[in-house]
Structure 1
Amino acid sequence: MPQDIDFHLPFELRTSPDIEGARARSLIWARQQGLATSPLDERRIHQWDIAKLMAEWVPSAVGPGLDLTVDAVVACTVYDDQFDDRRRHSAEELDRAVADVLGVMRPGETWPERIPEAPLYRAFAHVWSRLASGATPDWQRRTARHFRWFMEAGAEESRDRPARKMLGTEQFVPLRRRSGLVYAMMDLSEKAYGFETSARAREMPELCRMLDITSDFVTTANDVHSLEKEESRGDPYNYVLVVEHELDCGRREALRTITDQVGDWCREFAGIEQRLLGACRAHDLTGDETEAVLRFCDCMRSAMVGYDDWSRSTQRYARPVPPGEPAYSSLL
């Protein structure tokens, strides 16, 4: 089974000691926000085990810092599942839902003036109020932009999914970088640890490439490990299917090609990291900016190996979902 594939990343896997507490607090939060109103909802949230994902994504985080990352990803996972079945929402409803969610996540606002009544909007408003608290305007703008990428790309995939159009790599990779949430999740890492990379640092080509590699690996691992579930729903937005189509090859060769590519990414990431201090000096970063860059690199390593471990064990991908069966009750 594709979910059994281990990419054997050369990074240390660590887990927050607060993982069990995060699991319990996450379910309480989901109930309070109206995201878990039935035993089925609670069972699905338990099966996803987002607390395990984030306890390995930000392994040094505990308490409120860890909880915020878990709650944000739970909200985004519920949001993503709203778009799994295109027949549930018209194109106009999708656009309105995206606009309404983004409307409660505005830079410079810790609490929106208006919140639509549906539970998911309130959940995002609650998440954003905690994200924006104490954050610089630059960080808020960047993080809001990354959440916008995720939300708009998810709606785009949902609109186009019925046509089952197979994209080429040049089209697919940029779309997955936006729809995969990884850039926003790396912002969550900064928030959990209480630091920010500067705008100048984020413009460094070296750091940009390392972040792209992180995103490409996480979305690729997602596509590999969730392949059977997505195929059962007729979803063409999967990197394994893209590789099969482009190379005109079978499943085994496509997976071998992807595994080799992951190895190349890891070697490239390590090579850039070795040059990173020199790059920081070349870009005239201050000592504090350089320290933040190095912390961010550690966050990217934890993100990749943590995601790989979670993705192979989560029950979210373990059961194929028949086409037309909603992945989650409608909360938009």
Structure 2
Amino acid sequence: MSDDDSLLHPFPHRRSPHAAEAAGRHRAWLERHPLLSTDLGHTAYAHWEVVELAALGYPDAEPDELALAADLMGFYFLFDDQFDGPLGRRPAEVAVICERLTAVLHGAPPDPASPAETAFADLWARSVTGMPARWRARAAYNWEWYFASHAAEAAGRVSERPPDRDGYLVLRRGTAAMETIFDMIERLGRFDVPAAAHHHPVLRQIRQLAADIPSLSNDVRSYPKEAPTGDVNNLVMIVQRERDCSAEEACAVVTAEAQLMLGRCADLVTQLPESYRALGLDPAQRMLARRYAEGLTTWLAGYLHWEARTGRYRTA
């Protein structure tokens, strides 16, 4: 059972033994790609425990792979945070930035003067090495979805109107980058999930829940920071408007919803063996599908454990 402060679940969290080595390599990567803002030094950044998130999310990764995972986690946070200020209220400029990064996916050279572009070009090149074309195509689509969603998020800040629940889910599933994070389960493990299993309704539901639960939990923890800045893509704000209630009550509603989703996720996991049999997967294919499903729940458990302890949200 989880020891998270607010959510209970049956998925155990594990930690990679290679975290210390990955931390040193991640620091060197940040120095090569200076993504840290002028008001966020290495000491403050260390309190976010980004490498710890990678170690909990991908506990079976070898040292090289865990270093890649840590660099990816750092990129997500630092790239997203650049839009917390005035830039995040200029959607046309955000769109140009993200279009350039999307172009890198398709072979465009990064601008040497842009740490974001050089960092992402490095991450993408390391990620696709040795992976089959089907995986590369899916990963490229998911990264494009992530980048393109930031312009819509910026537009939402300008409108100062919270989206409805459906609109929130569409945009949040893009900006959360969870599909790219789940693609790395295969990349870091050096395997490829059979297409029939990857797209089976049961596994797709588990993947969606594993993506949405962290978003709901994160909305609760980040609400104190986001509400004063005009960030409207937060489910707590939407619930406040729907129910005309206090922020405290809305946080409780969102947390309860995430808890129900965790129960649904656990129920679906028990249906996977029958799904594999129905698909006629051979033993090797079943093993790959199991590794992927376990990767989803391991990431979920690791994230919730990390989120309850990281200094990234404590200051809010």
TM-score for both structures, normalised by structure 1: 0.88
1:72 alignment partner in structure 2: 72
Corresponding residue number in structure 1 for 2:25 = 25
Deviation at 1:179, TM superposition (A): 1.2
Contact 2:57 2:303 in 1 (8 A): yes
Distance in 1 between residues matched to 2:312 and 2:165, nearest whole Å: 26
- 2:228 is aligned with 1:232: yes
AA aligned opposite 1:276: L
Partner Cα separation in structure 2 for residue 90 and residue 163 of structure 1: 11
Task: Please provide the CA RMSD for this pair.
Answer: 2.0
Are the structure 2 counterparts of residues 48 and 63 from structure 1 closer, same or farther at C-alpha, using a change threshold of 3 Å?
A: same
Q: Using the alignment, how far apart are the partners of 1:177 and 1:90 within structure 2?
A: 21
Greater shift, 193-202 or 33-42, is seen at: 33-42
**Which structure 2 residues correspond to residues 118-137 of structure 1 after superposition, within 5 A?**
118-137=114-133
State the alpha-carbon separation in 1 of the partners of residues 6 and 88 from structure 2: 35
Runs of 5+ unmatched residues, structure 2: none
What amino acid is the match of 1:242? I
What amino acid is aligned across from residue 111 of structure 2 in structure 1?
Answer: P
Asked if residue 144 in structure 1 is aligned to residue 140 in structure 2, the reply is: yes
Q: Which has the higher contact order (CA 8 A, sep 6+)?
A: 1
**8 A contact 1:35–1:41 mirrored in 2:** no
Distance 1:247-1:194 versus aligned 2 partners, 3 A rule: same
Question: CA offsets per residue over residues 28-67 of structure 1, 9 Å max, x none?
Answer: 1110123248683323431322101111111122311111
Specify which of 292, 303, 308 is matched with residue 299 of structure 2: 303
Distance in 2 separating the partners of 1:272 and 1:283: 16
The two structures have a TM-score, normalised by structure 2, of 0.92
Task: Name 1:114's counterpart in structure 2.
Answer: 109
After superposing the two structures, state which structure 1 stretch, 131-140 or 285-294, moved more: 285-294
Q: Distance in 1 between matches of 2:38 and 2:232?
A: 31
Number of equivalenced pairs: 312
Distance 1:243 1:67 in 2: 38
Residue 275 of structure 1: SS of its match in structure 2? helix
- Aligned residue number for residue 6 of structure 2: 6
1:86–1:161 Cα contact (<8 Å) kept: no
Correspondences of 1:202-213 after superposition (within 5 Å): 202-213=198-209
Cα offset, 1:15, TM superposition: 0.9
CA contact (8 A) 2:6 2:255 kept: no
- Runs of 4 or more, structure 1, over 6 Å off, are none
The 5 A counterparts of 1:208-287 are 208-287=204-283
**Which amino acid in the other structure matches residue 307 of structure 1?**
Y
Q: Which residue of 2 aligns with 1:324?
A: none
Quote how far apart the aligned CAs of 1:13 are. Answer: 1.7
Give the share of equivalent positions with the same residue, in percent.
Answer: 26
Distance (Å, rounded) in 1 between the aligned partners of 2:201 and 2:37 = 45
In the alignment, the residues of structure 2 paired with residue 24 and residue 159 of structure 1 have an alpha-carbon distance, to the nearest angstrom, of 38
Q: For residues 5-38 of structure 1, what are the alpha-carbon distances to aligned partners after superposition, in whole Å with 9 as ceiling and x for unaligned?
A: 4212221121111122222211111101232486
Q: Does 2:201 correspond to 1:171? A: no
Cα separation, 1, equivalents of 2:157 and 2:39: 30
The residue identity in structure 1 corresponding to 2:77 is T
Letter of the aligned partner of 1:116 in structure 2? Answer: D
Write the letter of the residue equivalent to 1:30: L
Relative to 1, partners in 2 of residues 1:173 and 1:90: Cα closer, same or farther, differing over 3 Å?
A: closer
CA distance in structure 1 between the partners assigned to 2:139 and 2:227 by the alignment: 32
